[in-house]
Structure 1
Amino acid sequence: MNWLVGSFAFLAVALGVAGSGVGDDFKRFRGADATGVAEDHPGLPATWDKETNVAWVVDVPGQGWGSPIVIGDRVFVSSVVADEANTPPQGGLYLGEGVRDPAKGVHHWMVYCFDLGSGNELWKHEAHTGRPVVPRHPKSSYAAETPATDGERLYVLFGDLGLYCYGLDGELLWSRMIDPKKTNMDYGAAASPVVHAGQVFVVYDNKEESWIASFDTRTGDSDLADAT
């Protein structure tokens, strides 16, 4: 199983796995069966830190709470970069309080692709540029969802912004914008997309009009949408 450790502001890949080409791809949040458990492989190290048993490390600008995914020799991850400093995450409780206003400054909603073997950046795409229109809790992020792939296309969801479909070489194939809504304590959207049987399934849980929808993987057409 291709296995990696991700964090912002760095993305690190375990030594002995990068470029090995062994095992299945990691195509979605928590893996193929959503258990978060990868098949064992003798190349996986038992211990690691930022230097030990690490094949490469690359800086990823901005903030993103989603996990990286792997398809073939490529690693995909999303992030949002702000032009102005905002309230950073802090330890402890917030007593149920989020924030009342959207984050300051122009933001850049980014998608990155790295080579699994070397960590070299293969491409990046700026999905959207603008000012956030809904608040975000300091312990959350405007890029909280993990991307997904069916092996042919990449699906990147920015929860209260839109769903973006790319070719694996970085070409934007289609996008569907989302009408942003108020979320509980401003934590924001965080449900990662799931791909099944030619459809991309998206859940938008919010305090105004929650919904679940599916989109055709090839065209982005919506075949199902239900408010709850």
Structure 2
Amino acid sequence: MRIPFSVGAIVLSLFVLSVSGEDWNEFRGPTGQGEVSGVSLPVQWDDTDGDPENILWKQQLDGLAWSSPIVVGGKIYMTFASEEDEDSLSLQLIALDAETGIELWRRELWTHSDDVAMHKKNSHASPTPICDGEYLYAHFGPHGTACVTLDGEIVWKQKLEYKPVHGNGGSPALADGVLVICCDGGDQQFVVGLDRDNGDIRWRTDRETDPKKGFSFSTPLVIEVNGQQQAVCPGSDAVFAYNPISGEEIWRVDYPGGYSVTPRPVFGGGLVFVCTGFNKPKLLAIDPTGNGNVTETHLRWSADRAIPHSPSPVYFEDSLYVVSDKGIATCFDAESGEVVWQERLGGNFSASPIVSNGKLYFQDETGTGIVLKASREFEELARNSVGSSERTFASYAVDGDSILLRSESHLYRIGQN
């Protein structure tokens, strides 16, 4: 049921898309890095006292998923995992009207047994869909990947065989007609390129590692370096850059012992920034111009204090910002790795931050939104609540001047009212 509160209503993934400049078409938006420009997002909002501030609408959601919303052509698309009965789950893609929050259609893509082992912070529908303006691509790990029209008609389906640990997590990326997916299970680790038109496997490249714990959950980032596309794909023990058209390895940097890698890389100032996952996480700044194993030659700096296991970094104006899972925010000088400031925000964090109009937007695991000035001096601008204290692991999406916040059982549209 929809609860209305108001009647108010550099591209780094360098593949050619027909989405508009306003579309938030993949995990972390059109750049894949959580940066949005040309909009005026709200700084303050509240839904705690019966008189909501800047909450345009609130839509109740059925089913559970930690995937983020995407927005294309005035529609919001999200994945779900809904219980069909006590033994099976329905994996679904739904569309909502972006102005009203009303559900437009719902499509079941797969069903599978409910006995898959799942981490308490994961879901059966954690990867975020991606859209090229004509088709949607929804990924559920080894349970299935599907291409769907914007009206919900299924075009093709594909299954990739591997055994995830704690469920699936990483989202796909797109590059020149190829859907790039990291498949890092407990049994095998590889990266695959699917043909966007028919779902056929164009290439599969095994990761040349032998990790003690092979499972990871990262999302590729497609960049261009010296005229060549690279799909930067972190995994257990190492990060690899592949040619997204052929699957050929370009370079790698090793970090032995790192596993369950979740943050998506970011690219700025000529460097790729990668988090190395569990055991003790590190943040690596890598020059992506090399070939082969460049661990000893192209690692420009690293840091190991208050580095996130889950949230992705965000780059803005020669600074790199991160928040650790335990709520410590850090601003690094992106070129040197020098810590500019480090402050405790409080709370626990899984969602990845965004940056817009010189402001950083963080979100903790209970939906508290913390807005900071994106500056070399720490300044907190606002601390906001949606009131419910529901688990909130999905990352923000942006639609025009509004923020979309997905909690455990609601979707909020936050904007000036």
Deviation, 1:211, is: 1.4
User: More strand by proportion, 1 or 2?
Assistant: 2
- TM-score w.r.t. the length of structure 2 is 0.43
For residues 130 and 227 of structure 1, the distance between their equivalents in structure 2, rounded to whole angstroms, comes to 26
CA contact (8 A) 1:164 1:176 kept: yes
Seen in structure 2, the aligned counterparts of structure 1 residues 11 and 142 have a Cα distance that, compared at 3 Å, is farther
SS for the counterpart of 1:226 is strand
For residues 45 and 204 of structure 1, the distance between their equivalents in structure 2, rounded to whole angstroms, comes to 37
- TM-score w.r.t. the length of structure 1 is 0.76
1:17-44 CA-partner distances (Å, limit 9, x unpaired): x6xxx952101111122221222423x3
**What letter matches 1:164 in structure 2?**
A
For residues 204 and 2 of structure 2, the distance between their equivalents in structure 1, rounded to whole angstroms, comes to 37
For residues 5 and 174 of structure 2, the distance between their equivalents in structure 1, rounded to whole angstroms, comes to 25
| 1:28-107 mapped onto 2 (5 Å cutoff) | 28-42=26-40, 44-50=41-47, 51-83=52-84, 105-107=87-89
1:186-205 CA-partner distances (Å, limit 9, x unpaired): 2x221101112111111111
Who is 2:95 aligned against? 113
CA contact (8 A) 1:80 1:109 kept: yes
1:169-219 CA-partner distances (Å, limit 9, x unpaired): 100000101324042xx2x22110111211111111111111111111111
Identity %: 30
**What letter matches 2:105 in structure 1?**
W
Seen in structure 2, the aligned counterparts of structure 1 residues 130 and 182 have a Cα distance that, compared at 3 Å, is closer
Who is 1:204 aligned against? 183
For residues 46 and 12 of structure 1, the distance between their equivalents in structure 2, rounded to whole angstroms, comes to 21
SS for the counterpart of 2:96 is strand
**What letter matches 1:78 in structure 2?**
T
Gaps of 5+ in 1: 1-8, 85-103
| 1:1-228 mapped onto 2 (5 Å cutoff) | 24-42=22-40, 44-50=41-47, 51-83=52-84, 105-132=87-114, 134-183=116-165, 186=166, 188-228=167-207
Deviation, 1:167, is: 0.3
**What letter matches 2:81 in structure 1?**
V
Deviation, 1:134, is: 2.9
CA contact (8 A) 1:15 1:54 kept: no
CA contact (8 A) 2:162 2:188 kept: no
Seen in structure 2, the aligned counterparts of structure 1 residues 193 and 14 have a Cα distance that, compared at 3 Å, is farther
Who is 1:89 aligned against? none
For residues 198 and 135 of structure 1, the distance between their equivalents in structure 2, rounded to whole angstroms, comes to 33
Gaps of 5+ in 2: 10-19, 208-417
Give the total of aligned pairs. Answer: 193
Seen in structure 2, the aligned counterparts of structure 1 residues 10 and 35 have a Cα distance that, compared at 3 Å, is farther
**What letter matches 1:48 in structure 2?**
W
Calculate the aligned-residue CA RMSD, in Å: 2.7
Larger radius of gyration: 2
CA contact (8 A) 1:10 1:60 kept: no
For residues 119 and 195 of structure 1, the distance between their equivalents in structure 2, rounded to whole angstroms, comes to 27
Seen in structure 2, the aligned counterparts of structure 1 residues 138 and 194 have a Cα distance that, compared at 3 Å, is same
CA contact (8 A) 2:87 2:115 kept: no
For residues 195 and 38 of structure 1, the distance between their equivalents in structure 2, rounded to whole angstroms, comes to 19
For residues 28 and 11 of structure 1, the distance between their equivalents in structure 2, rounded to whole angstroms, comes to 27
